[in-house]
Amino acid sequence: MQVLESFHRSTPPRRRRPHPLQSLAGLALGCVWVVGAFAQAEPTSATMVIVVRHAEKADATSGVDLGLSAAGKRRAEALAVALAHVGVGTVITSQMKRTLATATPIAQRTGVKPLALHIQRGELAAHIADVRAAVEAASRAQKGAVLVVGHSNTVPLIVRELSGKDIADICDSQFSNFYMLSIPRVPSTGAKQDASAVQLIHVRYGDADPLPVAPDCK
């Protein structure tokens, strides 16, 4: 499995004939560009899955189930721009306002109603299993690309569940992580995806996260 990291630059890399995921990765979102090549995958036999954390949330004094701040709304729009030509056919969120609000712009563009999977305190494993089941169902149905909007504590678990790959923890101040996975389609109900065949690319989108991060955030 190949993991590709991105960095900020003002000009794009030299254009090459792109893989479908490279086409998405090559979009300029703010000043972020993807560097390097992504391993080849057969588009007709794989499902593209995009996993992101919800965008910046509103001031914590406004309640527990927070919506998005102005910065968060800008990021949600940036996400919709990035996914405008990807063919998103399934949108998966939690029941929290901030994940639903992050998915709203792309859902409105595509006409896809988000599937809100409830997450309960202390029941992360069950939620991750629900997300995987929903992704696999969308893959079997060949509904196009799948967008999953999660939380700082669920995104690494979702990526690992779908790809078998550990990624870095997401700090509270980080919202720009954007994970793309090319997952071989599950041919039939009951079959399991082969995590070793999943390809993963990590880029960043929208406004850059603030630096430095909190001292306790690695």
198-218 pLDDT, tens per residue? 889 999 999 999 876 666 676
Alpha carbon 174 to its chain's center: 13
pLDDT at 193: 61
Q: How confident is the model at residue 197 (pLDDT cuts 50, 70, 90)?
A: confident
pLDDT at 66: 83
Global pTM value: 0.80
Average pLDDT over residues 91-111: 97
Higher pLDDT, 46 or 134: 134
DSSP of 46-93? EEEEEEEE--PBPPGGG-SS--B-HHHHHHHHHHHHHTTTTTEEEEEE
Whether the bond into 18 is cis, omega within 30 of 0? no
Give the count of beta carbons closer than 10 Å to the beta carbon of residue 207: 18
Q: How confident is the model at residue 130 (pLDDT cuts 50, 70, 90)?
A: very high
pLDDT at 212: 66
Nearest to 114 by CA among 141, 92, 146, 145: 92
